[in-house]
Structure 1
C-alpha cells in the first residue's frame, strides 16, 4: 500500500507537472498614432495671426496670450504676446533664459534659427530632449513691434520616452505656427 501511494503521487506529479514551457513575452513598445494634421487660421483680435491644428482648442487670455489645448494628447502650447517698446534685448534674454532653465533636467537643447524675411518673422525654435518640464520652446519677433514666445507642456510628470510621440507631433504644429505667423500691423 505504501508503494502504491508513492507511485500514485509520482504519477500525479508527472501528470500535473507536464505543462507547456512558460516563455517571457517579447518586449513591445506602445504605438501612438495621431491623425494627419489639418490646419485652420486663428485670427483673434490680436496683432498676429497663424494657423493651428484643428485638433486643438484656443483659449484666449489677456493681452493676446493664447493657450492651444490638445486634450487628446494631454498637452498645451502656451503663447505669450508682448509689444516691443525699445526692449527687444530684454525680451530676447528672457525668452532664452526661460528655455535654458530646463537644462537641469534636459539631456540636451537643440536650437534652430527661423528667418522669414518676406513676412518679417525672425525667431528661434528649441527642441528639448530628456525629462524636462517643457519639450519645446520658441520665440518669434519682427524686431521692432511684436514679440511672441511659446512653450509646450504636458499634463503629466515628464517621462521623455512616454511623451516622445506626442511631443514630436506637437513640435510639427509649433513649426507650422512659426511658418504661418504674420503680423497684422
Structure 2
C-alpha cells in the first residue's frame, strides 16, 4: 500500500511538472499613434475665432464658452469667454489662481508668455507636469474687450505617465488655438 501511494504521488508530480519552460516577456513600451493634426477655422458665432483640430468636436454654449471634445483621446479642452468690462485685473488674477491651484498635485508648472501684437492677442500658457487634474491651461486677451481661458482635462484619474502622449498632442492643439485666435470686429 505504501509503495502504491508513493507511485501515485510520483506519477502526479511528474504529470503536473511537465509543462513548457517559462519564458520572460520582452520589454516593450506602449505605442500610441495619433493622427496628424489637420486644422480648420472654427465656425462659431462668437466674438473670436481660431483654428481647431478637425478630429475634435465643438460643443458650443450660448455664452460663447466651448468644449473641444477629443473622443479618441478621452479628453477635452474647455474654453470660457468673458467680456472685459473694467475687470481685467480680476480676470487675470482668477485665471492665474486657477492655474496655480494644481500646485499641490503637480510636479512642475511652466508658464510661457504669448504675445501677438499684430492681432492684439496676449496671454499665458501653463504646462503642468505631474498627476494634476489639468495638464495645460491658458488665457488670452486683447486687454480691452475680450478674455478667453482654456483648460485641458481627461476623463480619467490623472496618471501623468499614462496620459503624457495625449497631453503633448493636445498641448500642441492649445498652442495652435492661441496662435490662430483672432478677435472679430
**Shared topology, TM-score over 0.5?**
yes
Worse-superposed segment, 7-16 or 24-33? 7-16
2:117 maps to what in 1? Answer: 117
- For residue 62 of structure 1, report the CA deviation from its aligned partner: 2.5
- For residue 7 of structure 1, report the CA deviation from its aligned partner: 8.0
Cα distance per residue 1:51-99 (max 9 Å; x no partner): 0000111111121111111111111100001111111111110000000
- For residue 18 of structure 1, report the CA deviation from its aligned partner: 5.4
CA RMSD in angstroms comes to 2.0
How many equivalent pairs are there?
Answer: 185
1:147 maps to what in 2? Answer: 147
Q: Does 1:38 align with 2:38?
A: yes
- For residue 27 of structure 1, report the CA deviation from its aligned partner: 3.2
- TM-score, with length taken from structure 1: 0.90
Q: Does 1:70 align with 2:70?
A: yes
1:137 maps to what in 2? Answer: 137
SS of 1:171's partner is helix
The equivalences for 1:98-117 within 5 A come to 98-117=98-117
Change (3 A) 1:14 1:122: same
Aligned counterparts of 1:47 and 1:72: Cα–Cα separation in 2: 29
The equivalences for 1:1-185 within 5 A come to 17=17, 19-185=19-185
- TM-score, with length taken from structure 2: 0.90
Q: Unaligned 5+ residue runs, structure 2? A: none
Aligned counterparts of 2:153 and 2:76: Cα–Cα separation in 1: 6
Q: Unaligned 5+ residue runs, structure 1? A: none
SS of 1:64's partner is coil
Cα distance per residue 1:6-29 (max 9 Å; x no partner): 789768856764554313213322
Aligned counterparts of 2:149 and 2:9: Cα–Cα separation in 1: 76
SS of 2:72's partner is coil
